[in-house]
Structure 1
Amino acid sequence: MTDSLHDIPAVVNREGGALDGPNSLVDARVPAPIAPSGFDLLIDVRAVSVNPVDVKIRASANGNGTDRILGWDASGVVLAAGGDTHLFRPGDEVYYAGSLDRSGSYASQQLVDERIVGRKPRTLSHAEAAALPLTGITAWESLFDKLQLTGGSNGALLVIGAAGGVGSILIQLVKALTDVTVIATASRAESRAWVEQLGADIVLDHTNPDLARQILEVAPGGVDYAFTSQSRGRMALFTQVVRPFGQIVAIDDGRDLDFSALKDKSISWHWELMFTRPRYGWNLEAQHELLNSIADMVDAGRIRSTLTRVLSPLDATRLREAHAIIETGRAIGKVVVAAER
């Protein structure tokens, strides 16, 4: 690529494979996005959060050999708006999770459909806000679209791997908006302390071989609901601890799961992928509305950002560091890379 007045700084993924490959994440200059049209906003990206999806796609094969701009969590400022927009205008501070089918947020500017964008919480910095969109959407859709919890819901929800990004916001939403008891799992002292701070009622160790017995001791009839980001190898656990006609929602990419084991108890299994709406154009403004609801809750002090670490500036070195943290599988809360501290 050649530099020009119309180029912008970005971090690109040139080759799939291991993070330590020389072309996994590279500082570059890329053509600036075209002027926004339709429902698009042109965003000045101020901070991005790194998620497991970033790691997965970075490591995947890059079939067409072109530079890929990753990134699916961001906070920034609207620079320009397309002719069909009506939710935002230039100068507005926003946060969003974007779409798998478009160029991502590892660039200083990005085009995003305003219907999947929310107003940034006023009480948060861009770094704090960037920690919330992808996991907030995932948690909200899991709880209220899939499990269909309401303000009057009670019973018990088992959260497997609760200290991760989605679990960290999901616990807060459950405790703020329902009467459901949260049974969270965490395997280390620091992750246990984190989920307790976020409001988990009971915390158990998911590496304990007696986990099923411990769950049934605190929920004798079985849990009403389960949320999992770690489904592989846990079907036997779910059949033991989820009550008849209970529900499970999963966000991981578990393969070869034996769902037939759930039939005897008539347990329902739901998949959640927050990218489904933008990919298929399905009721897009629902994501705008829920992001605004989360922003309202943050500003009212009902929930908080799940940010635990900020790296700066927004370049390949810091993004590599963030990817390395996520690859350990032991990250607590969210890691954010900000243009400026």
Structure 2
Amino acid sequence: MKALAYERAHPLDAFAIDLVDVEEPRARDGDLLVEVRAIGVNPGEASIRAARSAEPGGRVILGWEFAGVVVDVGTATTGFAVGDRVIGTGDPTRDGCWAQRVAVDHRVVAKIPDQLAFVDAASLPIGALTGWEAVFRDQSVLPDGVDAVLVIGGAGGVGSLTTQLLKAKTSAFVISTASRPESRDWCHAMGADLVVDHTAGLGAQLRQAGVAHVDVVLSTAATADNLAQIAALLRPFGHVSTVDVGAPLDLAPLVQKSASLHTEMVFSHIVGGADPSSQGRILGTVVDYVVGGHVRPIVTTTLAGLTAESMKTAHAMLESHRTIGKIVIVV
């Protein structure tokens, strides 16, 4: 089969991902083999491309957000059959979905109905799972006493779906951050009750809007500056959830609020050895929300073809740090 692969980590200006012939994966006992129809592209994959090289003599196939059709099922799979239309993520220790076919643990996959287009479906899995687990944790509910949630980076894939899920599942007042007119408009379209500019003082903007404090903060980019600002906005015994921890963080500002700090990595169930079945169930619920009109797909850019040119274009857009919603490649 064909797949997009590379050998050595590289920057965008030396883009070295090529369409190559590789052996088709075989479904393990608990796997589905899926013919990929659409791929969601994520900022984390661009970061991995720039940092991770293949083992000597090998190649790297990234991609962990897809929609497609089941073409084979492992002997230990349940609930799926050849011909099912599905969405899913995958396993970062295995080859990903930048390929014509991908083998994936059936527990991180959900069926999609005929009325949900592959291109729309592929915009959902990573953002929905990350946002759900980040704010609802493993109980699938907000912590007690939560009235206001702040989503820092509301126009990206995670922020867009987190905002929608909060509005679909809770009565929380949702505040999103965005700095450009088009990204502010997008956050409002996602259902945010209030949108504030993260390049200006958040505290003053919230006070002007009559918001004294927030109970939960989801940060899509945790930095030392962000954390200090977050702590100033957070109520005592509030909650901070972050999905992107870079440099070491000074937690002293959070200690002063007796705050809880949560981290989220969408593959923690698989790489940590836990049962990932909850992720398949979450994706199934998200699909139901979409079909019911409570959540909308977030694809804003569609690129055509499993080609190096399409993937380079997607990565250039991601590295501009100005993307809104989701980039999807139609295979």
Normalising by structure 1, what TM-score? Answer: 0.93
Q: Aligned partner of 2:8: which letter? A: E
> Which residue, out of 151, 161, 171, partners 1:179?
171
Say whether the 8 Å CA contact 2:120–2:298 is kept in structure 1.
yes
Query: Which is further off, 139-148 or 90-99?
Result: 139-148
In the aligned structure 1, how far is the partner of 2:208 from the partner of 2:318?
33
* 1:139-218 alignment runs, 5 A limit: 139-145=131-137, 149-150=141-142, 154-208=146-200, 210-218=201-209
Shift of 1:153: 6.3
Q: Structure 2 counterpart of 1:15, which letter?
A: R
Shift of 1:256: 1.6
Structure 2 CA distance for partners of 1:153 and 1:240, relative to 1, 3 Å: closer
Check whether the contact 2:206–2:212 (CA below 8 A) recurs between aligned residues: no
Which residue identity lines up with residue 214 of structure 2 in the other structure? V
Distance 2:88 2:15 in 1: 30
CA distance in 2, matches of 1:161, 1:303: 18
Q: Which residue of 1 aligns with 2:94?
A: 102
SS at match of 1:206: coil
Amino acid corresponding to residue 214 of structure 1 in structure 2 = Q
Match of 1:58? 49
Offset at 1:288? Answer: 0.7
Between the two proteins, the alignment pairs up a number of residues equal to 329
Matches within 5 A, 1:124-135: 124-135=116-127
Output the TM-score relative to the length of structure 2: 0.95
The residue type paired with residue 58 of structure 1 is R
Letter in 2 for 1:69: I
Identity %: 37
Q: Does 138-147 or 94-103 show the bigger shift?
A: 138-147
Structure 1 position 46 matched with structure 2 position 37? yes
Report if the CA contact (8 A) 2:54-2:60 is conserved.
no
Q: Distance in 2 between matches of 1:26 and 1:58?
A: 13
- Secondary structure of the structure 1 residue equivalent to 2:237: strand
RMSD of aligned Cα (Å): 1.7
Gaps of 5+ in 1: 1-7
Residue in 1 that maps onto 2:215: 224
Distance 2:267 2:222 in 1: 20
Distance 1:112 1:147 in 2: 25
Moved more, 172-181 or 255-264: 255-264
Question: Counterparts of 1:224 and 1:200 in 2: how far apart (Å)?
Answer: 16
| Deviation of the 1:63 alpha carbon | 5.1
Stretches (4+) displaced over 4 A = 150-154
Conserved in 2, the CA contact under 8 Å of 1:172 and 1:199?
A: yes
User: Is 1:308 paired with 2:300?
Assistant: yes
